[in-house]
Amino acid sequence: MLAAHLDPLAASIFSLITIASMLLSFVMLGSRWLKDYMYAFGIQSWLIALLSALVGYYGHYPELYLIAILTVLFRGLLLPYLVLRILRRLHVGRELHLVLQPSTSLIVGAICVIFSLVLAFRISTAIGFPENIVVLALTVMFTMKLVGFLILSIRHEAVSHILGLMLLENGIFLGSQILIPGMPILIELVVLFDLLVAVACFGVLIRYLMARVGSTSSLELKRLIG
Amino acid sequence: MITLCFTVVLIAPLIAVAGALLICRPRFAEYLNLLASIVVFLAAASLPFIVHTPLFFWHNYLFLDALGGWVALCTAVVYLLASVYAVGYMRLLASDKHLPGFYALFAGFAWTMLLAAFVNNIGVFWIAIELTTLVSTFLVGFERAAESIEAAWKYIIVVSAGITLALLGTVLLYWGGSLILGPSYDMTWQTLRDVAPHMNPVLLKLGFLLVLVGYGTKVGLAPMHTWLPDAHSEGPAPVSAMLSGALLNTAMLGIVRFLAVTDAAGIGWLPRTALVVLGILSVLIGALFIVRQEGVKRLMAYSSVEHMGILALGFGFGGVLGIAGALYHMLNHSLNKSLMFFGAGNVMRRYGTKEMLAIRRVLHEFPVSGLLWLAGAVAITGAPPFGLFLSEFSILRAGFSGPNLWAAIVMLVLLIVIFIGFLRHFGAMYFGRQPESAPKGTIISAWCVLPMWLALIPLLVLGLWWPDGLMQIFMNIAHGLMGGTS
């Protein structure tokens, strides 16, 4: 495994990038402005692209350079652009109805991190790889998963849901770069695939807007019950 | 011969997609789709019978084994029935200019499900399942009413979020394998199964549970079923039949294959018990919501939740009997649920409502197809002499002889509750008092009745006689799945 024998400089750069990505998911969690989510998501995608390029360099996986480029193109540029366009058309600046105040949700997010850390520790000791970078990768992978689900459940705007979904996948993406860099074809396809998901979401969203102009809050989605 | 059938199954729907998109004629699109579905059915019907050892295609990315062939056959059956039905139904529902798009999506949806049944690589399987979601979202939202759009939105968000858990599980399992096999390897079902006994049990358990929850969302196992009643009730009737009869089986295939992996590793009771618990929860949720249901299509949707729970129980109980019963149940449920959704579609068009309160005196309106629908309702509750009785009975027998006796008993009680609840609704719809508002009198064409016959007759035959050939296939599949343990 790459992570088992990594030189210290590379290990610390990897750690820095993973921690920075995790912090960016907290930016998404702590803000109520949709534009902030979008910028945080964009920067996170750039960081992940950087990480895949570095993993490709240190681990000698030339395919990962291609993946880095695809990540930047699709997740770093195209998706934020699409989201911005939608935001401009919708005239929704921020979440109006908050289930949890940003400060409270940050605390819940912190609990998620602690939980993920404990989980990651147990897994990595069970496997016999107690290296810092493995623990860190697992922690960030689980944290971003939990934070993504948290965003999906406490936010109501359609755009937040899309970004929450993308955050779920960013987490897996980031973790798998470090843990299993030799899984290239799958990752490649997944990158392209997420874009399709996003485009499909936007398609549905736009139809939804055509059907009921005005609100894109999931609070309005309450016709189908029981 | 096998290669030819296999290729035809995967190519024919694609031709229908291309034809519908290139030549934008509504009549052409619907007959082309119908033709494709007939061809797919004829080719797929032979697949499970002629495959004895797995065959590999396309650099190992695709393969054909008896289990995949069986699921593909179930999909092909529903695709055929739904295509026949769609010819009549979609003319009532949509204007001609939307039809080519609908049929392109419809054939594409069938193609993604057939593909998923044959995928050999666990990563690509995840992608195939995600593809089914993407294509079918637009079918669910096809009517563009506020409700359909709401259902489509919930569908794509809930299922995509759920299925990322399956991706996480897949990544963890791949990681576990890479500690043994080296950083890069081909992640086929067989490799995973071979490497599983050497894998760390903690990772394997965690990976399986994540995969179970992820694909379980797509199967509609409670408590991840929340998208299912909305999507099934708001899509057009042929789409509901495809979602319920074909898509859920395809997602279940993933769980079954991962279960075979954990079985091979011998990591104890956890995976099976988890599946059994989810199964019981689904049957419970199905029973509760069936009893107090008001919408006719939501009734069918919750019945799907229930039947997916029964399938999960069958595979969870395991053993030759459980697996054979569950596989038989797949086909019976596909036939029966298509019949139920077709009947519901006809009734909805005639009465112009989804509310069961306004649907009364069905036999008055539909002397023949009403009887078919009623027979289907009796069948879906698991009453003899229909196929579902036999399959549910074998699953129960498997449960009574296994370690999860409690689950079998709970299942039996809940099935009785469902029997009463379901038939009470039908009693009211057939023999209740005349409603205030008169039916709209929409003419239902023969296209909409023919597939009901086509579904009911095999269902009756399968209930009276469990063919030896099928039993042979089920035994093969069961031995294949349990190969690691026995």
Model confidence over B280-301: pLDDT tens digits? 999 999 999 999 999 999 999 9
Q: What is the pLDDT of residue A188?
A: 66
Neighboring chain B residues of A141 at a CB cutoff of 8 Å:
168
Assign 3-state DSSP to chain A and report helix, strand, coil percentages, each to 5: 80, 0, 20
Does the distance separating the beta carbons of A197 and B171 come in below 8 Å? no
Nearest CA in chain A to B230: A224
Q: What domain range is B190 assigned to?
A: 2-482
Under the banding of pLDDT at 50, 70 and 90, the label for residue A191 is: low
Predicted confidence (pLDDT) per residue in B224-242, tens digit: 999 999 999 999 999 999 9
pLDDT higher than 50, residue B314: yes
Q: What is the pLDDT of residue B485?
A: 43
Question: Which of A1, A196, A221 minimises the CB distance to B179?
Answer: A1
Does the distance separating the beta carbons of B203 and A123 come in below 8 Å? yes
Assign 3-state DSSP to chain B and report helix, strand, coil percentages, each to 5: 80, 0, 15
Neighboring chain A residues of B228 at a CB cutoff of 8 Å:
none
Which residue(s) pair with B119 in the sheet?
Answer: B62
Which is higher by pLDDT, A23 or B60?
Answer: A23
Residues B217-252 as b or e (16 or more Cβ within 10 Å = b): bbbbbbebbbbbbbbbbbbbbbbbbbbbbbbbbbbb
Cα B470 from Cα B303, distance rounded (Å): 25
CB proximity A121 to B under 8 Å: no
Which residue(s) pair with B355 in the sheet?
Answer: B295
List Cβ neighbours of B303 (8 Å cut-off, separation of 6 or more).
B286, B290, B337, B340, B380, B418, B422
Average pLDDT, chain B: 91
Number of domains in chain B: 1
* Mean per-residue pLDDT, B263-279: 91
Does the distance separating the beta carbons of A200 and B137 come in below 8 Å? yes
Q: What is the pLDDT of residue B486?
A: 38
Neighbours of A39 (CB within 10 A): 17
Q: What is the pLDDT of residue B303?
A: 95
Neighboring chain A residues of B298 at a CB cutoff of 8 Å:
226
Q: What is the pLDDT of residue A44?
A: 94
CB proximity A9 to B under 8 Å: no
Neighboring chain B residues of A212 at a CB cutoff of 8 Å:
146, 149
Q: What is the pLDDT of residue A184?
A: 58
Cα B486 from Cα B481, distance rounded (Å): 10
* Mean per-residue pLDDT, B194-200: 91
Over pLDDT 70: what percentage of chain B? 99
Does the distance separating the beta carbons of A224 and B233 come in below 8 Å? yes
Q: Which residue type occupies B144?
A: R
Neighboring chain B residues of A182 at a CB cutoff of 8 Å:
178, 182-185
- Cβ-in-10-Å burial (0-12, 13-18, 19+) of B73 comes to buried
Q: What is the pLDDT of residue A209?
A: 64
Q: What is the pLDDT of residue A185?
A: 65
pLDDT higher than 60, residue B484: no
Nearest to B303 by CA among B279, B322, B315, B285: B285
Predicted confidence (pLDDT) per residue in B372-386, tens digit: 999 999 999 999 889
Closest CA–CA distance from residue A187 to any residue of chain B (Å) = 9
Predicted confidence (pLDDT) per residue in A131-178, tens digit: 788 899 999 999 999 999 999 999 888 888 888 888 998 898 888 888
pLDDT higher than 80, residue B347: yes
Element (H, E) at B62: strand B62-64
| 3-state class (DSSP) for residue B213 | helix
Predicted confidence (pLDDT) per residue in B418-445, tens digit: 999 999 999 999 998 877 677 777 788 8
Does the distance separating the beta carbons of A180 and B178 come in below 8 Å? yes
* Mean per-residue pLDDT, B264-293: 93
Nearest CA in chain A to B150: A221
How many residues does the structure list for chain B?
Answer: 486
pTM here is 0.93
* Mean per-residue pLDDT, B17-30: 92
Closest CA–CA distance from residue B161 to any residue of chain A (Å) = 6
Report whether the peptide linkage leading into residue B385 is cis, meaning its omega lies within 30 degrees of zero: yes
Cα B256 from Cα B316, distance rounded (Å): 9
Interface size A-B, in CB pairs within 8 Å, comes to 134
Closest CA–CA distance from residue A164 to any residue of chain B (Å) = 9
Under the banding of pLDDT at 50, 70 and 90, the label for residue B7 is: very high
How many residues does the structure list for chain A?
Answer: 226
CB proximity A161 to B under 8 Å: yes
Domain spans of chain A, in order of start: 2-220
pLDDT higher than 80, residue B367: yes
Q: What is the pLDDT of residue B389?
A: 94
Under the banding of pLDDT at 50, 70 and 90, the label for residue B60 is: confident
Q: What is the CA radius of gyration of chain A?
A: 18
Predicted confidence (pLDDT) per residue in A5-46, tens digit: 778 898 899 999 999 999 999 999 988 888 888 899 999 999
pLDDT higher than 60, residue A214: no
* Mean per-residue pLDDT, B445-461: 93
* Mean per-residue pLDDT, B343-361: 90
Neighboring chain A residues of B289 at a CB cutoff of 8 Å:
226
CB proximity A149 to B under 8 Å: yes
Q: What is the pLDDT of residue A192?
A: 67
Q: What is the pLDDT of residue B419?
A: 95
List Cβ neighbours of B453 (8 Å cut-off, separation of 6 or more).
B372
Query: Best mutation site among B153, B290, B305, B425 for testing chain A: the one with the most A CBs within 10 Å?
Result: B153
Does the distance separating the beta carbons of B171 and A179 come in below 8 Å? yes
